[in-house]
Structure 1
Amino acid sequence: MSADAPPFEVLPQQTYVPCKTDYLWGETRHKPFVVWSVEGDKVKVWDPSGGQRLGGFRWIAIRNLHESGTTKAGKERRTGWRLHSGPPAKGQELCGSCFRWLDRDEFNKTAWTLGHSTCKPCMAEIEERYGKL
């Protein structure tokens, strides 16, 4: 990080993905999430695929969130989560597959709830892997 770069700040609606690249999607502790709120040294996060209905909340220590997937020494991080996207620009929506904030015209399928829409690149990958939906 250069001397002119602003300090890293955790903000609501940023998305984070695990630094560990061989995580299992079924494990809650290794899933991507959206920051819901920052309260002192803790962050309330929302996982669109967690919980029994349309997502679940949990708390994470802010020290586990990182600006990048590498340490200052250049080594790959093995723990915690790295910043992935956001916060969104006005009018952007969250793709529930790639966890990026995108403009509405970049979506193939849109849903009424946050994090359940699918962008065009993700839909193309899904159709390539599983066939046309």
Structure 2
Amino acid sequence: MSDGTKAATFEVKRWQTYVPCKTEYLRGESRSKPFVVDVVEGDRVKVWDPTGGQRMGGHRWIALRNLHETGTTKTGKERRTGFRLHCQPPVDPVRQELCGSCFTWAARDQLAISARGFGHSTCIPCMADIEINS
């Protein structure tokens, strides 16, 4: 940067949510599902998928290099591999829940359905979309 300051470096943190960079979602491909970061350990990250299916709540390790701040490269091209940051960790983990539809952390008063376990709740905007599309 010209003013002598450094740009903030991207940091992978616990409870961040990530979604696939590729535009097409392959049904049933567990490695292409959104996930939540559980542990950052060196050059690898332990993640879990709270959305269900065969790997419900299951953990897996992925390479840290596969996580990106945005869905575009430095040259502006759309990424076709890896995962992009979708949502930062909750501000207040005690009073926020993860919406299982949009993978965004929401305050409990912003939930249409509050359920036990991360990723089982549904936020008000997602519930409205569900009702419209039903």
Normalised TM-score (structure 1): 0.90
The answer to whether the aligner puts 1:120 opposite 2:124 as a matched pair is yes
Could you give the per-residue CA deviations for residues 17-37 of structure 1, whole angstroms, max 9, x where no partner exists?
Answer: 000011124211110000000
Contact 1:42 1:62 in 2 (8 A): yes
Runs of at least 5 residues in structure 2 that lack an aligned partner in the other structure: none
Contact 1:49 1:56 in 2 (8 A): no
The answer to whether the aligner puts 1:104 opposite 2:108 as a matched pair is yes
Normalised TM-score (structure 2): 0.90
The corresponding residue for 1:84 is 86
Could you give the per-residue CA deviations for residues 63-94 of structure 1, whole angstroms, max 9, x where no partner exists?
Answer: 00000000000000000000000211112211
Runs of at least 5 residues in structure 1 that lack an aligned partner in the other structure: none
Contact 1:28 1:50 in 2 (8 A): no
> Cα RMSD (Å) of the superposition?
1.8
Match of 2:47 among 40, 45, 48: 45
> What CA distance in whole angstroms lies between the structure 2 residues aligned with 1:93 and 1:19?
24
Partner of 2:61: helix, strand, or coil? strand
Partner of 1:44: helix, strand, or coil? strand
The corresponding residue for 1:62 is 64
Could you give the per-residue CA deviations for residues 67-124 of structure 1, whole angstroms, max 9, x where no partner exists?
Answer: 0000000000000000000211112211010000111111100101111100011111
- Counterpart residue type for residue 126 of structure 1: I
Contact 1:50 1:56 in 2 (8 A): no
> What CA distance in whole angstroms lies between the structure 2 residues aligned with 1:27 and 1:50?
12
